[in-house]
Amino acid sequence: MIPLNIKSPYIYLILLLLFSFLAFSGWSARQASTRGSQISDHNYYSKGLKYNNTRVEERAAASRGWQLKTEIDNRSLNFKLTDAEDSPIRKATGELTLFLSQESRVLRLHPTEIQPGLYQLNLPDEISGSLQARIDFEQAGARVSRQLLVNL
């Protein structure tokens, strides 16, 4: 057995350091279990590095009162993009992202403006079933995004 020299101040310092470490570990475990995540948007990590830019664009579209209506007719998707006064939003760039889970790939399609504020997109014949999709329209620093479920 190793004799302990109680008169040495280093033993007290080591015990103080060990007690401090255990107390801090207990406090941090309690904070993690009771307070949870401080992230208010649970989709923060799914949007990647453009998260802040996307949020600014979405707020700009919301402040302008943008509205997006979606209709499906056979294999054609129609999007009506209007502002707060129900005026059409012209020359917006759009992108439809289809998630093809069976093929483990993503398909990106771009709608074309057929009338002021009315955008159309024809879906390819080779896709079918129930597909998750996301539509984004952007114009002059404002963006509107919607999640869709496309049933073919």
What the block records as the tokens of 37 is 């995540």
Four-residue CA torsion sign, 19, 25, 28, 32: negative
pLDDT at 42: 54
Three-class SS state of 22: helix
pTM for the full predicted model: 0.61
pLDDT at 65: 80
Residue 84 Ramachandran class (φ > 0 left, ψ -120 to 50 alpha, else beta): alpha
Provide the β-strand partners of residue 76.
73, 122
| Contact in structure between 144 and 64 (CB atoms under 8 Å) | no
What the block records as the tokens of 116 is 């002021």
pLDDT at 50: 55
pLDDT at 148: 86
pLDDT at 39: 55
CATH class of 49-151: mainly beta
pLDDT at 51: 55
**What is the rounded distance in angstroms from the CA atom of residue 28 to the CA atom of residue 24?**
6
Four-residue CA torsion sign, 54, 56, 57, 62: positive
Within 13 Å of residue 133, how many CA atoms lie on the same side as its CB? 24
Average pLDDT by stretches of 10, the chain with 152 residues: 66 92 92 68 55 63 79 90 89 90 84 94 87 88 84 80
